[in-house]
Structure 1
Amino acid sequence: MTTLRDPSPSTVSSARHAGLLSALVLAVAGYQINATMLAPALPDVIERLDTTSGSAGLAQTLFFLFAAIGQVTIARLSDHVGRQRMLLATLGALIAGEAVCALAPNIGIFVIGRMLQGVSSGTFSLAYLILHESLPPRRFGRALGIVTAVNGGIAGIDAVLGGMVADTVGFRGIFLASLVLTAGATAAVFVWVPSTGVPSTGKMDWKGALLLGLGLTGILLALNEGSDWGWGSPGTLVLLLGGLSALALFFRAEGKTRGALIDTATLTSRRVWPLLLTTVFTLAGVFGMLNFTIPLLTQSPEGGYEVSATLSALLFLTPASALGIVAAPIAGHFAPRIGWRRSVLIGLLGTVVAFLPLVLAPRVPWVLFTALATLGITYTGYSLTALTGLAVESAPPDKPGSLPGINGACFGIGSSLGIAAVSSVVTGVTTDGAPTFDALHTALWVSAGFVLLALVTALLIKPSPKTGEREVTTIR
C-alpha cells in the first residue's frame, strides 16, 4: 500500500484556501458543539426531561454510535457522489436533529434527535478528505491541525456557553444556538467548498453499511444497558450476540463485495488495524471521562464539588479545549516532518502521564484542573491530529475515503464505548440516588485503562518505510 500522492501544485489559491478552511471549520464546529456544549448541561437534561443518568448516558452513547456509522458510511458514499454534495446533505441532517432536540418533550424524542446529530459527524472525515485533495502536504498538516482542534471544542467557549445556557434557559437553548451556527456553515460550504469530481466508480455498499450499523448498535447498546438489565439477562445477551453475528456477516460479505464499504485486505495491514484500535481506545478513555464523568463529578452534591454547570465548564472543560486549539496546529505543522506515527506516540505518552494525577487525586480541584489542561495539549492537540493525519496519509489511493472513514468511525465507536463503559460503572456502583464519589472514581480508573490500551496498540503500528511517509511530505 502506497501513500504517495500526486505531486501537482495545490488546486487552491491563498484566498480560496482561507475561504475553504473557514467553511470547513464552521461545518465541523456545527457538529462538535452538539457534543461539547451539551456535556455541562447533562444534569439539566436529566432534570427537565424527568429521566435518569442511565438514560442520559444512553442518549450520549447513541449519539456517538451513530457518529461512528455516519463517519464510515458518509466518507465512502462521498467517493461516489462527491464531497461537497455529501457535506451539504450531512449538515441538513444535523439541522433536523438540532430542531428535534430543541423541541423534545421527553427522553425518547430527545434520543432520536441525538441520533440524527450523530450521523453528521461525517463532516470531519469529509473535511479531512477535501483538505487532503486540495492542499500540498505542508499546508495540509497545518490545516488538519486547525480542523482537528475543533474536535475538542471551540477553545472552551462552547463548554462555558453550554453551562451558562443550562443554568439560565436550559438545555434547549443549546440546540437553538447550534442550529443557527449550522445554518451559517451550510451557506459557507455552498459558497467556498468546490464541487469536485467523483473519485470512485461503481455502487455504494449499502448491505455492508446496514450490517455494520446493526453490529455496532447491538454491541454498544448491550454495554450501555448491561448494568441495568443484568449482564446475563436475555435482552443484554440478544443485543450482544446479535451485534457480534452482524459484524461477522459484515466481514464475510465485505470480502466478497466489489467496491466494499471497508477493504478487508487493508485492515490486515500492521499500519492499519493497530491504528484503528488506538483510535478506539484513545477516544474511549478521554471522551467518556470528559463528557460524562467530569460533569457529574464536578456538579454532583454528594459525590463531587457541587459547582454550577457554568463553573464546571469554565474550570474543568475549557482548559483542555482552549489549549488544544493552540497545540493542534503545532502538531499538524511538525507531524509531516517527524512522522505521523511518532506524533501519535508523543501524544499518547503525554496523555498517560496526564491521567496519573487524575485518577490518584480526583478530590483535589487544582489537580483535576491541571490534569485536564494537560490533556488539551497531549490529547486534543497531538493525539487527535496525529491519528487523523496518519489515517488520511495511509488510505489506499483508489479508495481515498475508506480509511479516513473507518478511522472516523473509530472516533465514534471509541466515544460511544467510553461513555457506555463509564455510564455502566457509575450506574452499577451507585446503589441509590445521585452518583457517589466512589462510583465516579471507579469510572476514572476505567478511562485510564482504555488510555493504557491505546498506548500499547500504538506501539504495534508498523512504521512507514523509508520511502513512504517522509517522502510524501517533501515531494513538493
Structure 2
Amino acid sequence: MTTIHDQSPTGAPTRYAALLAALVLAVAGYQINATMLAPALPDVMHRLHAGSGPAGLSQTLFFLFAAIGQVTIARLSDHVGRRRMLQVTLALLIVGEAVCVLAPNIEVFVLGRILQGTSSAAFTLAYLILHEALSPQRFGRALGVITAVNGGIAGVDAIVGGSVADSVGFRGIFLISLALTVVAVFAVHFAVPAMRVPAAGRMDWPGAILLGLGLTGVLLALNEGGSWGWSSPATLALLVGGVLALVLFGLAQKRAANAIIDLSALASRRVWPLLLTTVFTLAGVFGMLNFTIPLLTETPGAGYGLSATESALLFLTPASALGVIAAPVAGQFAPRIGWLRSVIAGSVGTAAAFVPLVLFPRSPWVTGIALGVLGITYTGYSLTALNGLAVASAPADKPGSLPGINGACFGVGASLGIAVASSVVTSLTAGGPPTAGAFHAALWSSAGFVALALLTTLLIKPSNVNR
C-alpha cells in the first residue's frame, strides 16, 4: 500500500500537499452543487416554472442518490480501487452538471441532480484514501480539511451562487461547477496514488439494487406525501414498495457471500447509534439550511425578503466560513481526545444552536448568529468526528463498508430532512405562497431531528479505538 509518512526524507510534504489539494478539488466539485444551489432555489422555481414541491424533490433526490452512491461506490472501491472509483464519480458529476445547464424543464433538471448526487461518494473515497496513505495524526488534520469542504468553500460558494442566481440564473452555477470538476479530474489523475485493492470477491449488486429501490421509495413517499396526500395510492405504493425492498435487502444480505452491508456489525452499539446520529444530524441541519433558510430569507412578507446574494452572504456564509476554521482544529485534536468525545461535543453544540433558531425565527439577527454557531458545532465538530469515528471503527477486511454506510447515512439524512421540511411547508401553504407559520413548523421539524441525534449520540458504545 502506498503510504506518505510524516518523516519521509524527500518529497513527502510535496506529495502530501498535492494529494490533499487533488482530493479537495474532487469533493468541492460535488459540494458546490449542494451549497451554491441553495440560495438559487427560488430562481430554479421561477425559470423552470416549478413549485416548492418539485424544487424540494430535486434536492431530496440529489441527497438520496448521494446516499446510494456512497454505500455502493465506497464498497465497490474495495474491489476495484479507490482512485478508479473516484474518477468514475467525477465523470458522473460532469454529465449531471451538463444536464442541468441544458435542462428545459424541472423533470430534466431532476435527472441532472440525480447524477450529481451519486458523486457524493467522492467524500468517502477521499477519507479512505487519506486513511490508507497517511499517519494517524496527519490523517486527522487532512480529514478536517476535507470535512470543512463538506460545509462549503468558506462561504464563498454560497455568495457566488447567490450572485450568479441574481445575475444570470442558476445555469451559471452549474457551468462554474463543471469547470471545477474538469480541473479535479486532471488533479486526481496526477496526484492520487493507485493503491492496492483491499478486498477480494465480487460486488453485491443485488443488494445494492434493493437498497437503492428501498431508500428511493420511502424517501419519495415522505417528500411527496404532503402534496399527493398521505393516504393516496401513489404515496402508499411508494412507501409499501420501499419498505418491502428494504426487507428483501435485509434477507438478501444474510445469504450474500460478500454482502454490501454486514448486518451483524450493524447490531453493535458501536455502529447503529453512530449511523442514526449521522442520519438525524444531517436531517436536522440540511432540512433547515438547504431548504427552509433560503426560502425564509428570500420570501417577501412571510420571510425577510432578501435577494439570493444577500441571503447567502448574511446567513449561509458565516456557517461555512467558521466551519473551514473549526473542522481542521477538530481533526487535529480528535485523535488525542477521542473521536467519540468529539461526536458528543458536536451533537451538544448543534442542539444548543437550534434553540434560539426555532424560538425566534422572525429575528434575522438571532438566525444569523445561530447559523454561525452551527458552523463551529456542526461543520467543525459533528461532521469531522462522525467521519473519523466511522473510518476508525471500520473492520480491517472491509475498510470501505462502515465509512460507505455512514456516508450513505449522510445522504439519507439530508434527503430525509429536506423531504420532511418541504412536505411541511407544502402541506401548510395549501397551494399558495409559503407562510411564516409554515417556515416555523419546518424549523421545528428540523429541530426534532437534532434532538434525536443528541439522544442517539449518547447511546454509542465507546471502544479503545474511538474513545
Show CA shifts across 1:185-222 (max 9, x none).
01000000001111111100000000000000000000
- Structure 2 distance, partners of 1:432, 1:235, is 19
2:442 maps to 1:443: yes
- Structure 1 distance, partners of 2:152, 2:345, is 21
Contact preservation (8 Å) 1:66, 1:115: yes
The residue that corresponds to 2:394 in the other structure is: 395
- Tell me the secondary structure at the aligned position of residue 202 of structure 1: coil
- Tell me the secondary structure at the aligned position of residue 28 of structure 2: helix
Matches within 5 A, 1:378-457: 378-457=377-456
User: Structure 2 counterpart of 1:146, which letter?
Assistant: V
- Structure 2 distance, partners of 1:233, 1:152, is 37
- Tell me the secondary structure at the aligned position of residue 172 of structure 2: helix
Q: CA deviation at 1:265?
A: 1.1
- Structure 2 distance, partners of 1:140, 1:398, is 20
- Structure 2 distance, partners of 1:82, 1:234, is 43
The residue that corresponds to 2:172 in the other structure is: 173
User: Structure 2 counterpart of 1:276, which letter?
Assistant: L
2:356 maps to 1:375: no
- Structure 1 distance, partners of 2:421, 2:296, is 12
- Structure 1 distance, partners of 2:388, 2:264, is 21
- Structure 2 distance, partners of 1:13, 1:457, is 40
The residue that corresponds to 2:256 in the other structure is: 257
The residue that corresponds to 1:469 in the other structure is: 466
Contact preservation (8 Å) 1:302, 1:434: no
Q: CA deviation at 1:104?
A: 0.1
Matches within 5 A, 1:69-468: 69-465=68-464, 468=465
Show CA shifts across 1:372-423 (max 9, x none).
0000000000000000000000000000000000000000000000000000
Q: CA deviation at 1:431?
A: 2.6
Distance change (3 Å), C-alpha of 1:249 and 1:450: same
Q: CA deviation at 1:15?
A: 1.1
User: Structure 2 counterpart of 1:144, which letter?
Assistant: L
Q: CA deviation at 1:433?
A: 2.2
The residue that corresponds to 1:473 in the other structure is: none
- Structure 1 distance, partners of 2:133, 2:371, is 35
Provide the aligned length of Structure 1 versus Structure 2: 464
The residue that corresponds to 1:35 in the other structure is: 34
User: Structure 2 counterpart of 1:250, which letter?
Assistant: F
User: Structure 2 counterpart of 1:245, which letter?
Assistant: L
- Tell me the secondary structure at the aligned position of residue 255 of structure 2: coil
- Tell me the secondary structure at the aligned position of residue 300 of structure 2: coil
Give the alignment's Cα RMSD to 1 decimal. 1.4
Identity of aligned residues (%): 71
Q: CA deviation at 1:434?
A: 1.4
The residue that corresponds to 1:51 in the other structure is: 50
- Structure 2 distance, partners of 1:413, 1:283, is 8
- Structure 1 distance, partners of 2:263, 2:255, is 10
Q: CA deviation at 1:307?
A: 0.5
Moved more, 170-179 or 432-441: 432-441
Show CA shifts across 1:86-141 (max 9, x none).
10011000000000000000000000000000000000000000000000100000
- Tell me the secondary structure at the aligned position of residue 199 of structure 2: coil
- Structure 2 distance, partners of 1:338, 1:121, is 29
Q: CA deviation at 1:8?
A: 10
- Structure 2 distance, partners of 1:125, 1:59, is 23
Q: Where in structure 2 are there 5+ consecutive unaligned residues?
A: none
Contact preservation (8 Å) 2:159, 2:313: yes
Q: CA deviation at 1:9?
A: 5.0
- Tell me the secondary structure at the aligned position of residue 416 of structure 2: helix
- Structure 2 distance, partners of 1:431, 1:61, is 21
Q: What is the TM-score normalised by the length of structure 1?
A: 0.96
Q: Where in structure 1 are there 5+ consecutive unaligned residues?
A: 471-476
- Tell me the secondary structure at the aligned position of residue 255 of structure 1: helix
User: Structure 1 counterpart of 2:397, which letter?
Assistant: D
- Structure 1 distance, partners of 2:247, 2:218, is 12
Contact preservation (8 Å) 1:302, 1:435: no
Contact preservation (8 Å) 1:32, 1:150: yes
Contact preservation (8 Å) 2:5, 2:12: no
Distance change (3 Å), C-alpha of 1:17 and 1:278: same
User: Structure 1 counterpart of 2:203, which letter?
Assistant: M
The residue that corresponds to 2:20 in the other structure is: 21
- Tell me the secondary structure at the aligned position of residue 435 of structure 1: coil
- Structure 1 distance, partners of 2:326, 2:269, is 28
Contact preservation (8 Å) 1:278, 1:458: yes
- Structure 2 distance, partners of 1:95, 1:403, is 27
- Structure 1 distance, partners of 2:186, 2:265, is 36
- Structure 2 distance, partners of 1:233, 1:50, is 25
User: Structure 1 counterpart of 2:19, which letter?
Assistant: L
- Tell me the secondary structure at the aligned position of residue 154 of structure 1: coil
- Structure 1 distance, partners of 2:282, 2:273, is 14
- Tell me the secondary structure at the aligned position of residue 469 of structure 1: coil
User: Structure 1 counterpart of 2:98, which letter?
Assistant: A
- Tell me the secondary structure at the aligned position of residue 209 of structure 2: helix
Q: CA deviation at 1:6?
A: 12
- Structure 2 distance, partners of 1:205, 1:302, is 52
Q: CA deviation at 1:14?
A: 1.6
User: Structure 2 counterpart of 1:393, which letter?
Assistant: A
- Tell me the secondary structure at the aligned position of residue 400 of structure 1: coil
- Structure 1 distance, partners of 2:302, 2:435, is 4
Q: CA deviation at 1:13?
A: 1.7
Give the ranges of 4+ consecutive aligned residues of structure 1 lying more than 6 Å apart after TM superposition.
5-8
